[in-house]
Each structure stands twice: as structure tokens, then as C-alpha cells.
Amino acid sequence: MKKILILTLAVLSFAACDQVAKFVSEQNGKAQNVQNRQGAQIYILSGLNADSYSFNEKINEKPVVVAFMAGFCGWCKKMLPYMDNLAGQVPSTQADVIIAFMDGSSSSLVNLEPVKAAKNIKIYYNAKELMQEYGVRGFPTIMLFKDGKPVQTWRGYSPEHVDSILETLKNLK
């Protein structure tokens, strides 16, 4: 009897995994469609080693402003349009502006109104490992990276952060 129960549970587990894989595949397709309709560039991070490598490579190329956010965070949703505005003011030759969402569900995050309205920012999903690596404990946390290292951090919701970030970028040497 125990063997039959264990075998039944194993079969159900494999079936569930297959359904989850199909769902993720479908959702990634939907996220791609949303990406094509809106202006924001969406990067879905998937493997820890690849994520860390590409992120670290990116922050070594030129200054990068990274806003660490979470989809459930009300302050983040309010801050996102300001970050999009910031990205529109900073020439891409000077710096990149990236939103790194802790959440991994791009299909639900791309439906947030501030994300739909974004035109200038690059959005990374499933950035939990990066947040742990850089000691992010609250949202939103905005970090300026230069030469691969964080040089300044802004915490919490404040539209004034945008002016401070622009001033800091002007004075970066």
C-alpha cells in the first residue's frame, strides 16, 4: 500500500513539474509580447552564474544606476516613473539606468502600470541574488556603480533622489 502511495505521489510530482514548465514557457512568451509593445528593454535573468557574470560585466563597462525594487512595494511603484524620467535624461553613453526587481514573475510585473508606461529603462527580473550580494535590505534602494563597485547609495522613496543622482553623475570622474 505504501509503495502504491509513493509511486502515485511521484507520478503526480512529475506531472506537476511538466505543467509548471509549460506555464513558465507560456508566460515568457507573453512577457516578450509586452516587451515589444512598450519601449522598455526587458531582460529576464535566469541562471545565477550567468546573471552575476552579465551584471558584473555591465557595471564594469560604464557607470550604472541600479534601482533595486520589489513588485509588492508601493514606494517602488511610485518611484519607478521617476527612474524612467532619470533614464531619459542620462545619455546612454554616460550611464545606464536599470531597474532590478527582486520578483521573478515577469509576467505579473510587466502588467504593473508604472512598468507598462516605462520607456527608457532596462528592467531585470529575479534579481534576488544580486540584492543579497550587494546587501539590499529595503526597497527601493538605488545604487550607483562605477568601475564595478558601488560608489553611492540612496534608500527609500524620494523624487529628489533623481536630482541627486544626476548631480552625482555630472561630478563622476
Instruction: Note down the domain range covering 113.
Output: 38-171
Task: Report yes or no: 67 and 130 within 8 Å, Cβ to Cβ.
Answer: no
Chain centre distance of CA 41 = 11
Please indicate, yes or no, if residue 14 is contained in any of the structural domains. Answer: no
The reply to whether 27 falls in a domain is: no
Q: Is residue 2 domain-resident?
A: no
Question: pLDDT for 112-126, tens place per residue?
Answer: 888 888 888 888 888
Of the pLDDT bands very low, low, confident and very high (cuts 50, 70, 90), residue 127 is confident
In a domain, 111, yes or no: yes
CA 162 to CA 84: how far, in whole Å? 10
| Domain assignment present for 131 | yes
- The verdict on residue 134 lying in a domain is yes
Residue 82, burial from CB neighbour count under 10 angstroms (0-12, 13-18, 19+): buried
Is 87 among the domain residues?
yes
Q: What is the pLDDT of residue 66?
A: 92
Which candidate, 169, 33, 49, places its Cα nearest to that of 111?
33
CATH of the domain at 45: 3.40.30.10
Q: Is residue 28 part of a domain?
A: no
Contact in structure between 101 and 69 (CB atoms under 8 Å)? yes
